[in-house]
Amino acid sequence: MQILFVCDPLESFKPYKDSTVAMMRAAQKRGHGVWACGPDDLQISWQGSAQAFRIEAQRLRLLPVQASASAPWVSIDETRLLQPSDIHLAIMRKDPPFDVHYLVATQMLDRLMSHGVPVINRPQALRDHGEKMAVLEFAELAPPGMVSHDMASLRAFAEEHPQVVFKPLDAMGGAGIFLSHAKDPNLPVILETLTEHGQRAIMGQRYLPEIAQGDKRILLINGEAVPYCLARIPPEGASRGNLAAGGRGEARPLTDRDQEIARQLGRILAARGLFLIGLDVIGNCLTEINVTSPTGFQEITQQTGYDVAEKFVTALEAQFGAAPEAPHRAQP
């Protein structure tokens, strides 16, 4: 297959830890062509009912893994305009925030799908499953929570629980997350800041002290759980386990409860076009459903030997067919 990764700029990647890099390496290892572009490289024009879709993309060659984290990890073999017929599959791996630029990117990918190119995760499903609010469909698995822009209501929610977590609805990596309580003198400014003085909805959740044992990332590939999770353990004295916030990742086998949650959600969400999902579980509770660019591939593989990226690519082949590389066509 010719696989197009729609992603952040290549120079922003950390090749020793980024799951997208692991996917690219696994795809190349299995004989697939690897291309990359950013959302702004998707373009469409039309005249009447005739449409032309173009993608300014780079053909990549993944270099051997080096001991030095600063060593080059990729070579760009060519840059050219692609047509939809040049691509067998597109993988959306642009990180949040889910802002208007991300929204437009999903709309452009809808048009790419209309030209016959499968996209994962499906653009409509990305729009329908906000990573924080998606847990409401499975609220029986989640801790008590609230979504509101009203600061008085959010303060009242804090009074109902010993401790609460407040977080924005469109961020990632632990950004903007606050641990607070009803008597916290900083609570008013926390709510003012997060809600932009009542103009922006945020989420509150009851704090789960089990976070000390790790915020578990459970990966689902086409509805099936990877047998190991990545427990993100907060630094001493901290409340966030996100790796981007300084947490330590520890791969562990799934517990019976982890597997129960994965089974309950897996096939439902896969049927909606969510091929790759990252469930966040603290203790026995589901806290988030990550659908934009779930991570944890490399840490799990390095610690357990279970090759998550190879599992991902073989699942793609089973779903979409292991087509040989398409011939390079000269552009008109």
- Is 8 among the catalytic positions? no
Q: Catalytic one among 41, 288, 299, 310? A: 288
Average pLDDT over residues 71-86: 96
For residues 245 and 276, state if they share a domain: yes
Beta-sheet strand order (sheet of 164-167):
145-148, 202-206, 164-167, 178-180
Is the residue at 325 inside a domain? no
The string of pLDDT tens digits covering residues 58-74 is: 999 999 987 677 789 99
CA angle 212, 220, 38 (to 5 degrees): 100
- Is 232 among the catalytic positions? yes
- Is the pLDDT at 131 greater than 90, yes or no? no
For residues 202 and 215, state if they share a domain: no
- Is 93 among the catalytic positions? no
Where is the domain boundary, 161, 191, 206?
Answer: 206
For residues 11 and 47, state if they share a domain: yes
For residues 109 and 75, state if they share a domain: yes
User: Does 131 or 326 have the greater pLDDT score?
Assistant: 131
- Is 29 among the catalytic positions? no
For residues 220 and 159, state if they share a domain: no
For residues 16 and 113, state if they share a domain: yes
For residues 20 and 93, state if they share a domain: yes
For residues 8 and 94, state if they share a domain: yes
The string of pLDDT tens digits covering residues 33-44 is: 999 999 999 999
pLDDT band at 149 (very low <50, low <70, confident <90, very high): very high
pLDDT band at 324 (very low <50, low <70, confident <90, very high): very low
For residues 109 and 81, state if they share a domain: yes
- Looking at residue 241, its pLDDT comes to 57
Is the residue at 309 inside a domain? no
Is the residue at 18 inside a domain? yes
For residues 178 and 220, state if they share a domain: no
**Residue range of the domain that includes 191:** 144-206
Is the residue at 331 inside a domain? no
State both tokens at 166.
């407040």
Domain with 272 in it: what CATH number? 3.30.470.20
Q: Catalytic one among 121, 290, 299, 310? A: 290
The string of pLDDT tens digits covering residues 307-317 is: 999 999 999 99
- What is the pTM for the complete model shown? 0.91
Distance of CA 124 to the CA centre of its chain: 15
The string of pLDDT tens digits covering residues 181-240 is: 999 999 999 999 999 999 999 999 999 999 989 999 999 999 999 999 999 998 776 665
Is the residue at 183 inside a domain? yes
- Looking at residue 270, its pLDDT comes to 98
Average pLDDT over residues 146-169: 97
Pairing assessment for the beta strands 50-62 and 42-47 based on DSSP bridges = antiparallel
The number of domains in the chain is: 3
- Is 217 among the catalytic positions? yes
The string of pLDDT tens digits covering residues 84-120 is: 999 999 999 999 888 899 999 999 999 999 999 999 9
The string of pLDDT tens digits covering residues 261-275 is: 999 999 999 999 999
Q: Catalytic one among 25, 93, 94, 232? A: 232
Is the residue at 133 inside a domain? no
For residues 24 and 68, state if they share a domain: yes
- Looking at residue 236, its pLDDT comes to 72
- Is 167 among the catalytic positions? yes
Is the residue at 16 inside a domain? yes
Q: Catalytic one among 86, 217, 242, 311? A: 217
Where is the domain boundary, 122, 154, 182?
Answer: 122
Q: Catalytic one among 25, 93, 122, 240? A: 240
For residues 200 and 214, state if they share a domain: no
Q: Catalytic one among 280, 299, 310, 311? A: 280
Is the residue at 54 inside a domain? yes
C-alpha–C-alpha distance, residues 80 and 33, integer Å: 14
SS3 assignment for the chain: CEEEEEECCHHHCCCCCCHHHHHHHHHHHCCCEEEEECHHHEEEEEECCEEEEEEEEEEEEECCCCCCCCCCCEEEEEEEEECHHHCCEEEEECCCCCCHHHHHHHHHHHHHHHCCCCEECCHHHHHHCCCCHHHHHHHHHCCCEEEECCHHHHHHHHHCCCCEEEECCCCCCCCCCEEECCCCCCHHHHHHHHHCCCCCCEEEEECCHHHHHCEEEEEEECCEECCEEEEEECCCCCCCCCHHHCCEEEEEECCHHHHHHHHHHHHHHHCCCCCEEEEEEECCEEEEEECCCCCCHHHHHHHHCCCHHHHHHHHHHHHHCCCCCCCCCCCC
Where is the domain boundary, 163, 185, 206?
Answer: 206
- Looking at residue 285, its pLDDT comes to 97
